[in-house]
Amino acid sequence: LAARWGGQGDPLNLQTVLLRTDREEIPEPWARLSVSARVAYLWEAGGTGRWIALAVADRDETDEVRLLAVVTEKAPP
């Protein structure tokens, strides 16, 4: 992804996004992603209006660790 969209991706602190869900409407897929992961790395796919996010779902200690990939037209909150 770094080679295709330039750079290592911008980190998005999903902990703060999760906290914000208590007092404001956070659009999907960001609200759901914040429940599963602590940090996502973001790239804007130039000229497409889409965002690509990669995150490691590791919040739930009873569940397996998973790599999550999200492609969306919703800008990150």
Tell me if 59 sits within 8 A of 38, measured CB to CB.
Answer: yes
Other residues' Cβ atoms within 10 Å of the Cβ of residue 36: 18
Residue 24 confidence (pLDDT): 96
Instruction: Tell me the average pLDDT across 56-74.
Output: 93
Give this prediction's pTM. 0.86
Place of tokens 């800008």: 75
Residue 5 confidence (pLDDT): 72
CA dihedral 31, 34, 36, 41 (to 10 degrees): 120
Strand partners, 66: 57
Percentage of residues in the chain with pLDDT exceeding 70? 100
pLDDT of 47 strictly over 80: yes
Distance, CA of 43 to CA of 38 (rounded, Å): 17
